[in-house]
Amino acid sequence: MTGMTDMKSRPQTGFTLVEMAIVLAVISLILGATLTVLTALQEQRNIEDTKSSLEAAKDALLGFAVTNGRLPCPASSTSNGIEDPVGGTTSLISCTHPYDGFLPAATLGLPNVDDHGYLQDAWHIAANRVRYAVTIANTRAATTTDGIKTLGMGSFTPNLYVCDTASGITSSSCGTATTLTSQAVAIIYTLGPNAPNGGTGTDEAANLNADPVFVSHTVAYAKDSPANGEFDDQLLWLSPYTLFNRMVQAGKLP
């Protein structure tokens, strides 16, 4: 009888099914929170890495201008990262895709290009090839050898616009939107992580419509239902004064 009493009074060990379910739920919450944090950190790292790549590309454009007395034309989607002037000429340059081309990374000799000669942003897929637009103002002075020198710095009027929203813009100016610049010589940009299906929002679409007016602002996530749709493009632009300064220092201007 004593043995039977001991068996009945001995406390049970181990987890019940309810306790196991609670433990698993807690672990799932912890893992989910950790994954969210890691994803956010990786996203921020990609943004910073892409910014660095765009800055390096900008420096390469300046180096090309100092060496050649002009800026390169954008590459096309089939030129394998080589600039794509009309007719292949390199004297009086008319660009095939002045507003909707790609950075001519192969022409610039940039490292870490993809198998087809294009520079990609930190998301490293074909849809994320770095893009590039160049002004065609003043009879394409920017892309003509010594074109700016012949024209004169005071007469050079580049006309690439960057606006803070697509609302109110036109095909040739920022219209009623705030103008971040109205005289960019060149714009280097990337479509961000939503590149495979991006451009559907008004602001992102403005960067893909092959005109000289672009949009740049902080990231707007789809989950927040922004008025003009999701936006994660990154843009840098080259001012005429930065270009002048570098070319004057190199003796290419005035």
pLDDT band of residue 223 (cuts 50, 70, 90) is confident
- Residue 127, judged by CB atoms within 10 A of its CB (0-12, 13-18, 19+), counts as middle
Q: Would you state the pLDDT for residue 38?
A: 67
Q: Is the pLDDT of residue 4 over 60?
A: no
Which residues 6+ apart lie within 8 Å of 136 measured at CB?
Answer: 94, 95, 98, 142, 143
Which residues 6+ apart lie within 8 Å of 230 measured at CB?
Answer: 194, 198, 200, 201, 204, 220, 221, 222
pLDDT band of residue 8 (cuts 50, 70, 90) is low
Q: Is the pLDDT of residue 77 over 60?
A: yes
Q: What is the mean pLDDT of residues 136-154?
A: 95
Q: What kind and span of H or E run contains 186?
A: strand 186-190
The domains of the chain are located at 19-249
Name the nearest CA neighbour of 73 among 116, 121, 106: 106
More confident residue, 160 or 43: 160
Q: Would you state the pLDDT for residue 89?
A: 62
Q: What is the mean pLDDT of residues 162-177?
A: 97
Q: Would you state the pLDDT for residue 43?
A: 80
End-to-end CA distance of the chain: 111
Beta bridge pairs of residue 113: 119
Q: Is the pLDDT of residue 87 over 80?
A: no
pLDDT band of residue 158 (cuts 50, 70, 90) is very high
Q: What is the mean pLDDT of residues 221-245?
A: 94
Q: What kind and span of H or E run contains 234?
A: strand 234-238
Residue 100's CB is within 10 A of a number of other CB atoms, namely 17
Q: Is the pLDDT of residue 90 over 70?
A: no
Give residue-wise pLDDT tens across range 20-72: 788 788 888 887 777 776 677 778 788 899 999 999 999 999 999 999 999 99
pTM check: above 0.95: no
How far, CA to CA in Å, does 247 sit from each of 68, 92, 132, 177, 232? 10, 19, 20, 32, 33
Q: What mean pLDDT is reported for the chain?
A: 89
